[in-house]
Every structure is written in structure tokens, then in C-alpha cells.
């Protein structure tokens, strides 16, 4: 077996491998990042590496893994180094990333709190997925009954949740007199800065109202739009990267050439020169977030549910199956009137590019992976558009089909009678709603306020439309429904 990638190996890498462009040993830590999954490693970490290579600065990252020791176990023996394999039409490019300078697992969370309190730390960023915010997905309010939040209120010094860790870190920072900083969400939530501020502030208020006031005065919560498709790393990817590196890399990621990062420029204690690392710094991120969530992520979720049900393991298989691409276009047509298209964006070109990205056969992106946590994703991806269209008297039939596809999926059994591994924080809530006629089930699921709010179940005709799609999905199967819906 080849030796492991680490700092000592950095000067002996094959010539074709791109190196960090600075000496990782001499890079100080300026960012504490929560959630060190494949997406962070292929997106913010790479842009930050490019910014440091171009303009310098001690913007190394202390990466915190809240959920488990798997990522620390992979990264720590490699001194935080890992490879990003970008697979493009013109071939593969492998970059070794060296910005992660510390890797902190759940066993060392006291070190994460201390890292947030250090004066040299100027940004806390996070990619903890939608459910990591412990909020009611429909209203955005902190879920005070969430077991991790209950725990963090009882034991604020030993947090389990992302909001709990941020509050504990900020409390320590205030006590240390280290001043304010920016807390930057990089998750797929609209106005993710505002969303983060809401849960952090609500939790701080419970613990110490003076801390909440300090946060209001000292901490900025810039919003961001992030976009790069990064499937979970598969064992075959680790083998491919080992072949290219001549070294074993247990933390590598494989991704597409496309990457976009739009950042609201509010950083009271400074930031890396991300504009030199491929990011766009803007005053208003909201139009970018809506465009991305309501086009890319909305169609991704629809493709995930319908694609999985029709027997497609990967997005690239679903998108070329009969009817799927035209149906995606219909969903985008419904979403388009709700968008404020950002200046300089050509929507038709954006949509063409999205279809090409979905169809990239080198990206083995599982429909099952995207189908996960639907209860946390539907509101901002599909339901916001549906609500706006209903209010304006515009059609939303394709959106209703996407919702019905989610309902069919969470029934937990596929079209061949095999069980579906439904992963969702609300999975227990769906179980009792699995029986009965499609129309009854649709109405019952629409009655979950944490997903659909109090309004959607009551909108005249919407429950019926969803119920009718659900009935067709159960009678005819997803492939036939997609074909028919695309041709109608
Ligand atoms: C996907 C996203 O898993 C999902 O829900 O829709 O992770 C998607 O790949 C990214 O947002 C692309 O930027």
C-alpha cells in the first residue's frame, strides 16, 4: 500500500499535481469552520486556498466536525492535507489543499470553543446542512424542543449543536475581550446569514440576554450563495486519487469544474481576498440565493425523488431518461416569474449550463443522497415558489408533482416493493402517515406545519392537485408519470 499523504510528502508530489502555493506549516488560523464534509473541502477551502496563494494572509482553517470522528480520523494523519479531483470534459486536474490546519472532532469541542475565542480568529463559517440549524424548516424559528438544543440549554459549556457551539464560542470570545467577527453560513438556505443569526441569537437569549446584546453589536452574519456539485466520495475515488498521487489520501473529494460563491461583504474583523480566489463579493446575495435554490436545488430534489422511484441511481442517468429534462424545464418555467435575476446573469445560459452539469456522466451523484432530509429542503426549494405562484394566480402543477414525488418516496417502499432507506429528521412523523388512500395521505402530510406551514393544506385546490399526482405516481409509476407530464 502506498504511504499516506502528509506535509513531508508535499515536496515530492508528481509534477501534474497542483500544490497549495504557500507553505501550510507557516499558515496561521483565521477561520473556524463547522462541518468538514466533502462540500466544504471542495468549495470554500479551495477558494480560500486560491485567495491565500494570490494575496496571502493567515486564513488557515480549524475544521470542526460536530457529528463524528470519521473526518478527523481521515484528515488528521494527513496533517489536514487532501486532494480535490476536478473531472472535466478536458480531463482531470488534481489539487492538494493545505488550508486546513487543525481538525477538531467531537471529543475536542472545548478546543473549538477556545479557537472561536482567539483574537486571531476572525471568521466562523459553517456547512452543517439544513438540519444542522435546528430550526423549524417552515418558520425558521429555533426548535427549542430539539434534543441537541435541549441539551445545549442545560449544558451550554458542552454543546452538541452548531448553534450551541457558536454561542459557547462567542461567550468565550466576549469574556476574552477578543472583539467581534463574522459568522458566515455556507448552507443552502435563503438568506442564510439571517437564518443563522436567528437561531444563534435565540439560543444566546435563553442563556444570557447580555450575550445576545453583545452579539447584536459585535457579530455580523453575512449571507452567501454557494454552488458546486460534490457527491459523497466513493471507495473508487480514493483508488483513483491514490493512482494520481502515488499516495493514499483518505480525505479526497471528487467534483465538477463549476464552482460559484457569492458573498455578502460584511466582515467586521476582515476576510481573505476571496475575490482573488474566484468568489464574488456583493452587497445583496438574495437574488443569487433564490435563483440557485429555486432552479438548481428545486430541480435536484425533483430529480432525486422521481429519479429514485424510476430506478435511476445517479442524477446523470435520470436527466437523460425520457421526459425528465423537459419536466425540469417546466419546473424552471414555473420558478422564473418569482426570481429577481441578478444583474449580469443570462438566465437562459444559466439553465443550459445547469442541464449540462446534471448530465455530466463523470459525476456519480446519487439520487438517494439528494433525496435525504427532504423535510428540511422542500420549503426553500419548492414551497416558496409554489406559495408565490398561487398568490399571483400562476400555475404550479410541476411544483405540485415534485411535492407528490417526495410524498411517494417517504412512503418508504419503492416501485418494486423494496424498502427505501428514508433519512430525514422527521422520518418518525411520516411513518404513521404511510397508510390510506393517496388523497388522504397527501392531505395528512400537507398538515405537517414544520414543512408546509399552516397555510398550504388550506389553499383551495392544492391538496387535491398533490393528491392526484400521488395517485398517478402509485398507479402508473414515476417513469410513466414523468413522460406524460412532460408531454402534456
Ligand atoms: C443537493 C445539493 O444534496 C442536495 O440536496 O441539491 O447538495 C447540491 O448538489 C448543491 O447545492 C450544488 O451546489
pLDDT bin (cut points 50, 70, 90) of residue 191 is very high
Domain for residue 310, yes or no? yes
What is the total count of domains within the chain? 2
How many angstroms does the Cα of residue 431 sit away from the middle of ligand 1?
26
Torsion of CA 288, 291, 296, 302, to 10 degrees: 140
**Cβ(381) – ligand 1 distance below 6 Å:** no
154 vs 460: which has the higher pLDDT: 154
Distance (Å, whole) CA 179 – CA 214: 10
Sign of CA dihedral 392, 396, 402, 406: positive
Domain for residue 205, yes or no? yes
pLDDT bin (cut points 50, 70, 90) of residue 176 is very high
Question: Taking residues 247-271, what's their average pLDDT?
Answer: 98
The residue whose C-alpha atom lies closest to atom 10 belonging to ligand 1 is 229
Clarify whether residues 193 and 94 are in a common domain. Answer: yes
**Cβ(9) – ligand 1 distance below 6 Å:** no
Select from 240, 256, 282 the last residue of a domain: 282
CATH number for the domain spanning 315: value is 1.10.1040.10
Tens digits of residue pLDDT in 3-56 = 999 999 999 999 999 999 999 999 999 999 999 999 999 999 999 999 999 999
The residue whose C-alpha atom lies closest to atom 3 belonging to ligand 1 is 370
Clarify whether residues 334 and 300 are in a common domain. Answer: yes
HEC assignment per residue over the chain: CCCECCHHHHHHCCCCCECCCCCHHHCCEEEEEECCCHHHHHCHHHHHHHHHHHHCCCCEEEEECCCCCHHHHHHHHHCCCEEEEEEECCEEEEEEECCEEEEECHHHHHHHHHHHHCCCCCEEEECCCHHHHCECCCCCCECCCCHHHHHHHHCCCCCCCHHHHHHHHHHHHHHHCCCCEEEEECCCCCCHHHHHHHHHHHHHHHHCHHHHHHHHHHEECCCEEEECCCCCCCHHHHHHHHHHHCCECCCCEEECCCCEEEEECCCCCCCCCHHHHCCEEECCCHHHHHHHHHHHHHHHHHHHHHHHHCCCCEHHHHCCCCCHHHHHHHHHHHHHHHCCCCCCCCHHHHHHHHHHHHCCCCCCCEHHHHHCCHHHHHHHHHHHHHHHHHHCCCCCHHHHHHHHHHHHHCCCECCCCCECCCCCCCHHHHHHHCCCCHHHHHHHHHCCHHHHCCCHHHCCCHHHHHHHHHHHHHHHCHHHHHHHHHHC
> How many CB atoms are closer than 10 A to CB 208?
14
Select from 232, 250, 282 the last residue of a domain: 282
The residue whose C-alpha atom lies closest to atom 9 belonging to ligand 1 is 229
Clarify whether residues 106 and 128 are in a common domain. Answer: yes
Domain coverage including residue 383: 286-487
Domain for residue 471, yes or no? yes
Domain for residue 244, yes or no? yes
Select from 282, 303, 328 the last residue of a domain: 282
Clarify whether residues 339 and 251 are in a common domain. Answer: no
**Cβ(249) – ligand 1 distance below 6 Å:** no
Domain for residue 188, yes or no? yes
Distance (Å, whole) CA 251 – CA 141: 34
How many angstroms does the Cα of residue 440 sit away from the middle of ligand 1?
31
Clarify whether residues 273 and 292 are in a common domain. Answer: no
How many angstroms does the Cα of residue 44 sit away from the middle of ligand 1?
15
The residue whose C-alpha atom lies closest to atom 5 belonging to ligand 1 is 370
Clarify whether residues 214 and 312 are in a common domain. Answer: no
Domain for residue 1, yes or no? no
Question: Taking residues 74-78, what's their average pLDDT?
Answer: 97
Question: Taking residues 189-199, what's their average pLDDT?
Answer: 98
pLDDT averaged over every residue in the chain: 97
The residue whose C-alpha atom lies closest to atom 13 belonging to ligand 1 is 227
Domain for residue 296, yes or no? yes
Grid cell, residue 307, equals 429519479
How many angstroms does the Cα of residue 229 sit away from the middle of ligand 1?
6
What is the side-by-side order of every strand in the sheet holding 100-104?
A: 100-104, 60-64, 29-34, 123-126, 181-185, 219-220
Whole-angstrom CA distances from 479 to 31, 327, 415 are: 46, 12, 10
**Cβ(229) – ligand 1 distance below 6 Å:** yes
Residue 89 has a pLDDT of 86
**Cβ(227) – ligand 1 distance below 6 Å:** yes
Question: Taking residues 234-244, what's their average pLDDT?
Answer: 97
Share of the chain above pLDDT 90, in %: 97
How many angstroms does the Cα of residue 246 sit away from the middle of ligand 1?
31
**Cβ(228) – ligand 1 distance below 6 Å:** yes
Tens digits of residue pLDDT in 300-326 = 999 999 999 999 999 999 999 999 999
Clarify whether residues 310 and 387 are in a common domain. Answer: yes
The residue whose C-alpha atom lies closest to atom 1 belonging to ligand 1 is 370
- Burial class for 258, CB neighbours closer than 10 Å (0-12, 13-18, 19+): middle
Clarify whether residues 331 and 354 are in a common domain. Answer: yes
Clarify whether residues 264 and 121 are in a common domain. Answer: yes
CATH number for the domain spanning 31: value is 3.40.50.720
Q: Taking CA 258 as the corner, what is the angle to CA 254 and CA 260, rounded to the nearest 5 degrees?
A: 115
Clarify whether residues 366 and 266 are in a common domain. Answer: no
**Cβ(129) – ligand 1 distance below 6 Å:** no
Residues 6+ apart with CB under 8 A from 381: 293, 294, 297, 298, 300, 301
CA of residue 436 relative to chain centroid, distance = 34
Residue 386 has a pLDDT of 98
> Which residue from 38, 39, 423 has its CB within 8 A of the most atoms of ligand 1, so it is best to mutate?
39
Clarify whether residues 257 and 179 are in a common domain. Answer: yes
How many angstroms does the Cα of residue 178 sit away from the middle of ligand 1?
35
Clarify whether residues 274 and 403 are in a common domain. Answer: no
Put residue 417 in one of left, alpha, beta given phi > 0 → left and psi -120 to 50 → alpha.
left
**Cβ(370) – ligand 1 distance below 6 Å:** yes
How many angstroms does the Cα of residue 190 sit away from the middle of ligand 1?
14
Tens digits of residue pLDDT in 378-402 = 999 999 999 999 999 999 999 999 9
Tens digits of residue pLDDT in 330-343 = 999 999 999 999 99
Domain for residue 389, yes or no? yes
How many angstroms does the Cα of residue 227 sit away from the middle of ligand 1?
8
Residue 460 has a pLDDT of 86
**Cβ(335) – ligand 1 distance below 6 Å:** no
Question: Taking residues 228-237, what's their average pLDDT?
Answer: 97
Amino acid at each position: 500500500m502506498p504511504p499516506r499523504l502528509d506535509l513531508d510528502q508535499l515536496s515530492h508530489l508528481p509534477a501534474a499535481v497542483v500544490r497549495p502555493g504557500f507553505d501550510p506549516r507557516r499558515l496561521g488560523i483565521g477561520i473556524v469552520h463547522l462541518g468538514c464534509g466533502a462540500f466544504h473541502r471542495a468549495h470554500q477551502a479551495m477558494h480560500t486556498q486560491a485567495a491565500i496563494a494570490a494575496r496571502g494572509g493567515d486564513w488557515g482553517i480549524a475544521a470542526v466536525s460536530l457529528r463524528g470522528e470519521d473526518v478527523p480520523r481521515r484528515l488528521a494523519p494527513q496533517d489536514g492535507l487532501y486532494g480535490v479531483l476536478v473531472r472535466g470534459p478536458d480531463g482531470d486536474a488534481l489539487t492538494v489543499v493545505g488550508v486546513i490546519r487543525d481538525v477538531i472532532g467531537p471529543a475536542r469541542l472545548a478546543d473549538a470553543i477556545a479557537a472561536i475565542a482567539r483574537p486571531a480568529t476572525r471568521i466562523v463559517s459553517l456547512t452543517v446542512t439544513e438540519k444542522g440549524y435546528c430550526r423549524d424548516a417552515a418558520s425558521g424559528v429555533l426548535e427549542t424542543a430539539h434534543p441537541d438544543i435541549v441539551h445545549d440549554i442545560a449544558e451550554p459549556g458542552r454543546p452538541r449543536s452548531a448553534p450551541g457551539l457558536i454561542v459557547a464560542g462567542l461567550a468565550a470570545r466576549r469574556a476574552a475581550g477578543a472583539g467581534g467577527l463574522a459568522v458566515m453560513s455556507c448552507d443552502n438556505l435563503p438568506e442564510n446569514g439571517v437564518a443563522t443569526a436567528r437561531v444563534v441569537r435565540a439560543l444566546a437569549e435563553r442563556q444570557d440576554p447580555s450575550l445576545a446584546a453583545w452579539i447584536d453589536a459585535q457579530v455580523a452574519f453575512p449571507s452567501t450563495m454557494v454552488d458546486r456539485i460534490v457527491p459523497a466520495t466513493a471507495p473508487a475515488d480514493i483508488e483513483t486519487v491514490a493512482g494520481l498521487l502515488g499516495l493514499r489520501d483518505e480525505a479526497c473529494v471528487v467534483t465538477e469544474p463549476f464552482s460559484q460563491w457569492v458573498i455578502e461583504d460584511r466582515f467586521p474583523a476582515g476576510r481573505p481576498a476571496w475575490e482573488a480566489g474566484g468568489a464574488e463579493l456583493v452587497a445583496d446575495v438574495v437574488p443569487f440565493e433564490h435563483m440557485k435554490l429555486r432552479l438548481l436545488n428545486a430541480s435536484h430534489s425533483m430529480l432525486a425523488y422521481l429519479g429514485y422511484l424510476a430506478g435511476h441511481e445517479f442524477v446523470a442517468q435520470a436527466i437523460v431518461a425520457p421526459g425528465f429534462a423537459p419536466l425540469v424545464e417546466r419546473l424552471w418555467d414555473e420558478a422564473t416569474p418569482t426570481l429577481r435575476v441578478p444583474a449580469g446573469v443570462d438566465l437562459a445560459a444559466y439553465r443550459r449550463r445547469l442541464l449540462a452539469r446534471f448530465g455530466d456522466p463523470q459525476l456519480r451523484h446519487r439520487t438517494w443522497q439528494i433525496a435525504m432530509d427532504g423535510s428540511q429542503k422542500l420549503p426553500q426549494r419548492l414551497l416558496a415558489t409554489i406559495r408565490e405562484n398561487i398568490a399571483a394566480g400562476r400555475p404550479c402543477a410541476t411544483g405540485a408533482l415534485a411535492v407528490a414525488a417526495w410524498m411517494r418516496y417517504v412512503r418508504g417502499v419503492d416501485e418494486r416493493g423494496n424498502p427505501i432507506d428514508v433519512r430525514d429528521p422527521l422520518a418518525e412523523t411520516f411513518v404513521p402517515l404511510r397508510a390510506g388512500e393517496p388523497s388522504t395521505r397527501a392531505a395528512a402530510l400537507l398538515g405537517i406545519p414544520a414543512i408546509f406551514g399552516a397555510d398550504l393544506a388550506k389553499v383551495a385546490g392544492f391538496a387535491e392537485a398533490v393528491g392526484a399526482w400521488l395517485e398517478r405516481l402509485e398507479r402508473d409509476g414515476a417513469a410513466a408519470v414523468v413522460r406524460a407530464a412532460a408531454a402534456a
